[in-house]
Amino acid sequence: MAKFISREKLSKKARKELDSQKRTVWAFSPTPKKVESKKLYNRKKSAHAWKDDFGMSAFLLHFHLA
Whether the pLDDT of residue 9 is over 80: the answer is yes
pLDDT of residue 14: 93
pLDDT digits (tens, 9 = 90+) for 22-50: 888 888 877 888 888 888 887 776 655 55
Q: Is residue 2 exposed (0-12), middle (13-18) or buried (19+ Cβ within 10 Å)?
A: exposed
d(CA 48, CA 43): 9
Q: What integer is the mean pLDDT of 14-22?
A: 91
Task: Tell me the percentage of the chain whose pLDDT exceeds 90.
Answer: 20
pLDDT of residue 23: 87
pTM of the complete model: 0.36
